Every structure is written in structure tokens, then in C-alpha cells.
Chain A
């Protein structure tokens, strides 16, 4: 009848003792315990029996060596994999750069168009409200800087660009008073809430018309 020794820590080390993988100090301590403990001696005997019983089936190692890949093959394949990975990385970086460049160009176009719109709005401030209404009915771009969410930016941008010769011309001929008015408008714009898409539009139009009258 095999019993378990009460010293669990020692029992835990018995396989290592059998394999001789314990450090010198630990090995001596465990061996000293086993020398005076019948339960541990029985367990060590069992461990030896288990080791001997689970023998290795015969393996044809020569055959295994014969079918192994050659080091040159393995290294060539690894080099190829590394190369493919590098090319992929370079391509990815290039793609990111292109995307970033496209984003910057788009942002520049949009902000330029917005600025032009602003200048256009400033010059229009000098005109009468009826003229503005006429322009609105003609389908021209309004001096509102608030983005109209119903119109995609991509569709809006060409219209803004096509309107540019007129707006640039108008902006150049702004008087000091008109420029001051424009700057004031821009300040007002920053303070506008952007959560509600409707409110800023109304506010702008209102500012426009109220400041319009000298």
C-alpha cells in the first residue's frame, strides 16, 4: 500500500531528483529527506518504474534525417518570406502616404473654397438683400460658410472653384470697412455652435442682413 508523504514540497521535487535536475543545495536537502522517509522512497521507486515502463518505441532516426530539409533551403525560404514582408511593408507605407497626400489636398481645396466663399460673402455684404435673393434664385453658391450637409463636399467643391474668378475679383476690391466687417463675421463664425446644423445658417444670414445696412 503506497501512501503520500505529508511533505508536499518534497514530493513535488521527487521527479526532478530522479532526473538529477535539482540544484546542489536543493538536491542534498531532498535526498536527505528521502533517506529517512519510507513514503518518499516508495514514490521514488514508483517514479523509476514509470520511467522504465514508458519506454520509447523504436524510431528510424536515419529515415527522419533523410527527409529533413537542407539548411540552405530553409534559409532561402526564410529570406524570401522576409523579402515579401518587406515589399508589403513598403507598399503599405506608400499607400498611407498617398492617402495622406490626398487628404491634405482635399482639405486644402475645401478650406480654399470656404475662404473664397467667405470673401464672396463679404463683398456681397455691400450689395442689397434683393441682389442676394436674386443670386440665390440663380442657384449660385450662398455666402454661408456653414456646410450644407445635404450637399456632399465633393459636389460642392467644383461649384465653388468655378465661382472663384468672380469671388477673387470681388475680394480684391474690398474696402477697409468691408474687410473689417468680414473679419467680424469670421469671429462670429467661430463662436457659433456647430452641434445644430440649422442654427448657424440662420445666424449668419441674420448677421449678414443686419450689418448690411449702413
Chain B
């Protein structure tokens, strides 16, 4: 079986968008099904596990409201990540305004993972998630997009409004920190 490439993905997304513009609602279902899991993973890893549903929903609503203006100079998924990241940052800013710190939000996310892990009883996975949660926001976002979504540095840079070089450095620092955390365990 041939592994699908990013070009295939882009072509498929473009075809789905075209179908949706012509009024085919099933194309919307396909678009959402294709990208919702990745967005949910990214939202959860950003320390927003409680609000993942809402964040992913809002991302799609915003994206579809501007879908006729979407130009395929970046992939649809990268564009969706960009929208989601902005929503996460807005939410964290609002939380900070209401007295909570980002640090608190991250602790809360770790607790959320821990509660889930107690049920799943998968200690290894729990350790990995803890390791990822301990990263700085930028390191974590780069690491998750690179490792779990397989994004190229160029797309990560576009999503996080950074540069490829900076993202590469963040990735390797994150990898080192994760290894150290797991080695110490």
C-alpha cells in the first residue's frame, strides 16, 4: 500500500472544499472527520483538555465561515492548526485576566491527564504525557506538531508564527527534555 503524501492530502482537501462550495454537505462531514482528531490532540496537549470539544468546534466554525477565501498556499490542516492555536491563546489570555495563571492551566491539564490515566492505568503513556506537559508552551507546540502530526518545520513555523530555524531548535530541546524526564523516571 502506498503511503499518502502531503500533496495527496492537499489535493483531497481542495476537492472536498470544492464539493462543499457546490452545496455537498457530505464534504463537510469528511473534512471534519479528517481533521478533528489531530485538532483535538493539539488542543489537549496545549493544556486545554477540558475545553477541547468547544475549541475544535469553534475552529471548524471559523474555518468554514472563511472557507471560500481559503487559498491552497498552505495546507488546510496547517490553516486549521493556526486558527485553533489563536483560539487557545485567546482562551489562556482570558484565563489570565480572570486571575488564573498559565502555569495553573498547565497544572490543571496535568491533573486532567492523571485522572484519565488512573482509569486507563497506562503508566508509560502517563509518563510521556507528563514529560510533554512539562515543556514550555513553544517547545510543546512544536514537539506535538512534529511528533504526533508529522508536520514539516515550515508548516509548524507558519502555524506558530515563528521561523523554521527556531522551531528546529525548540524540537531538539523538547526531545532532550522528554528523554531526560523519562530517564529520571
Which residues of A line the B interface, CB within 8 A?
A: 1-2, 4, 8, 11-12, 15-16, 18-21, 43, 46-47, 49-65, 67-72, 74-75, 77-78
**CB-defined contacts of B87 to chain A, threshold 8 Å:** none
B11-35 CB mask vs A (1 if < 8 Å, else 0) is: 0000000001111010011001100
Decide if the interface of chain B is mainly helix, strand, loop or mixed: helix
**CB-defined contacts of A21 to chain B, threshold 8 Å:** 3, 5-6, 150, 152
**Contacts A59-B53, A74-B65 given: A18-B41 contact, CB under 8 Å?**
no
Q: What are 14 A-B pairs at a CB distance below 8 A?
A: A12-B171, A21-B6, A46-B178, A54-B44, A54-B132, A54-B148, A55-B125, A57-B41, A57-B53, A59-B53, A64-B61, A68-B28, A75-B21, A77-B65
**Contacts A2-B179, A69-B61 given: A53-B124 contact, CB under 8 Å?**
yes
Q: Is the CB of A69 within 8 A of B65?
A: yes
**CB-defined contacts of A12 to chain B, threshold 8 Å:** 168, 171-172
Q: Is the CB of B129 within 8 A of A15?
A: no
**CB-defined contacts of A75 to chain B, threshold 8 Å:** 21, 68
Rounded to whole Å, the gap between the CB of B96 and the closest CB of chain A is 24
Closest to B20 in A: A71
CA distance A58 to B40 in the complex (A): 8
**Interface assignment of B146: CB less than 8 Å from any CB of chain A:** yes
**CB-defined contacts of B78 to chain A, threshold 8 Å:** none
**CB-defined contacts of B65 to chain A, threshold 8 Å:** 69, 74, 77
Closest to A18 in B: B150
Question: Looking at the complex, which one of A46, A57, A78 makes contact with B69 (CB distance below 8 Å)?
Answer: A78
CA distance A59 to B52 in the complex (A): 8
CA distance A4 to B65 in the complex (A): 45
CA distance A71 to B45 in the complex (A): 32
Q: Is the CB of A71 within 8 A of B21?
A: yes
Rounded to whole Å, the gap between the CB of B105 and the closest CB of chain A is 16
Q: Is the CB of B147 within 8 A of A50?
A: yes
Q: Is the CB of A63 within 8 A of B37?
A: no
Rounded to whole Å, the gap between the CB of B15 and the closest CB of chain A is 15
CA distance A50 to B178 in the complex (A): 10
**CB-defined contacts of B132 to chain A, threshold 8 Å:** 50, 53-54
Closest to A62 in B: B29
B53-66 CB mask vs A (1 if < 8 Å, else 0) is: 10011001100111
B142-185 CB mask vs A (1 if < 8 Å, else 0) is: 01101111101000000000000000100110011011001100
Q: Is the CB of A59 within 8 A of B64?
A: no
Question: Looking at the complex, which one of A2, A57, A71 makes contact with B182 (CB distance below 8 Å)?
Answer: A2
**CB-defined contacts of B37 to chain A, threshold 8 Å:** 56, 59
Q: Other than the known A15-B146, A64-B32, what 10 A-B pairs have Cβ atoms closer than 8 Å?
A: A20-B3, A47-B147, A53-B126, A54-B147, A56-B36, A56-B40, A57-B40, A64-B57, A67-B61, A68-B61
CA distance A49 to B52 in the complex (A): 22
Q: Which 5 interchain pairs have the tightest Cβ spacing?
A: A19-B150, A53-B128, A53-B125, A20-B3, A56-B37
CA distance A19 to B6 in the complex (A): 11
**Contacts A63-B57, A71-B20, A71-B21 given: A57-B150 contact, CB under 8 Å?**
no
CA distance A55 to B41 in the complex (A): 6
CA distance A77 to B22 in the complex (A): 16
**CB-defined contacts of B22 to chain A, threshold 8 Å:** 71
**Contacts A4-B176, A50-B132, A64-B60 given: A57-B5 contact, CB under 8 Å?**
no
**Interface assignment of B83: CB less than 8 Å from any CB of chain A:** no
CA distance A77 to B66 in the complex (A): 10
Q: Is the CB of B150 within 8 A of A64?
A: no
Q: Is the CB of A53 within 8 A of B21?
A: no
